[in-house]
Structure 1
Amino acid sequence: MLWVKSLHIVFIASWFAGLLYLPRIFVNLAMVSPSSVAERDRLLLMARKLLRFTTLLAYPALAFGLWLWLGYGIGRGPGNGWMHAKLAAVLLALAYHFYCAQLLKDFIANRNQRGHVWFRWFNEAPVVLLLIIVVLVVVKPF
């Protein structure tokens, strides 16, 4: 079980690293002038590769988490409300991930309607989610 837990933590940390960096690329994309085609193309390439890599990391992270939850019974039974809250936060992180994919499609199609300030704020969402998840797992407040 400790091996599975360790792998889960490694893949989650790597997944969140991508979720923290991808919106930062969006900030830069929103700041690129229309005449800087090479810079825009380079940033789009970076964002596509990072999204693909981040998505590949999310699958094993979720699989190991399900294995721990269903296979070992972690977080089941009375007094484990923290697990339900953690799962809700994980679902929000997944929604954020898929929304990032949609935003990247909008950038690729030149349909972005938001400025770099909006993306700076958007970049803070995974930090809040990660903090919530870590506190729920470590502190287990309910």
Structure 2
Amino acid sequence: MSDLLITLYPWVKAFHIIAVISWMAGLFYLPRLFVYHTEQSSPGDSRDEVFQIMEDKLLRVIMTPAMFASWLAGLMMVMTPGIVDWGAAWPYVKGAGVLGMTGFHYWLGLRRKDFVAGRNTLTGRQYRMMNEVPTILMVLIVLAVIVRF
């Protein structure tokens, strides 16, 4: 199994990067859609329906599969011999960042359910602030992996 993982490593790494880019694009865009949804529609109006379709497809068709693909490829890289130095801090920092990103993904899914039920209580300003969470986590993850502190 180790030999196969070593052989596939460049492909798995490329797939991981593609999946992470797709996931991140959604993590940046969905809160922005929530801003516009909050500020430009009311529950049940035609804009509400359009925003709900856009949010659902982004979350269900793009973000969630990209998240699972990121996790799968990431775990395959972790299992590849010689890739992770478990004596360093960076793999744990990256892992915490990825868990935070995953938690944020699920938080966004809960907010989408609030819109569907017509019970969103957050403001556009609050969604704008939450839109910074994936940026902070991304910086943490990239620095951990590249600088390897």
What CA RMSD, in Å, does the superposition of the two structures yield over aligned residues? 1.4
In 1, distance between residues paired with 2:93 and 2:47? 41
SS in structure 2 opposite 1:112?
coil
Question: What residue is the counterpart of 2:4 in the other structure?
Answer: none
After TM superposition, the score normalised by the length of structure 1 is 0.93
Q: Compute the displacement of 1:76 (Å).
A: 3.6
Q: Which amino acid counterpart does residue 75 of structure 1 have in structure 2?
A: V
The structure 1 segments of at least 4 consecutive aligned residues displaced by more than 6 Å after TM superposition are none
- For structure 2, the residue ranges without an aligned partner over 5 or more in a row are 1-8
Question: What residue is the counterpart of 2:15 in the other structure?
Answer: 7
In 1, distance between residues paired with 2:133 and 2:141? 12
In 1, distance between residues paired with 2:99 and 2:81? 21
Cα-to-partner distance string for 1:51-96 (whole Å, 9 max, x where unaligned): 0120011111100100000133422432x21001100000000000
Question: What residue is the counterpart of 1:23 in the other structure?
Answer: 31
Q: Compute the displacement of 1:117 (Å).
A: 0.5
Cα-to-partner distance string for 1:2-44 (whole Å, 9 max, x where unaligned): 1111111110111011100000000011102428711111011
Q: Does 1:77 align with 2:77?
A: no
Question: What residue is the counterpart of 1:63 in the other structure?
Answer: 72
Question: What residue is the counterpart of 2:49 in the other structure?
Answer: 41
Q: Does 1:132 align with 2:140?
A: yes
The answer to whether the 8 Å contact 2:90/2:144 transfers is: yes
The answer to whether the 8 Å contact 2:43/2:118 transfers is: no
In 2, distance between residues paired with 1:17 and 1:49? 14
The answer to whether the 8 Å contact 1:8/1:65 transfers is: yes
The answer to whether the 8 Å contact 2:78/2:84 transfers is: yes
After TM superposition, the score normalised by the length of structure 2 is 0.89
- For structure 1, the residue ranges without an aligned partner over 5 or more in a row are none
Match of 1:99 among 90, 100, 107: 107
Q: Judging changes above 3 Å, is the alpha-carbon distance between structure 1 residues 131 and 35 closer, same or farther for their aligned structure 2 residues?
A: closer
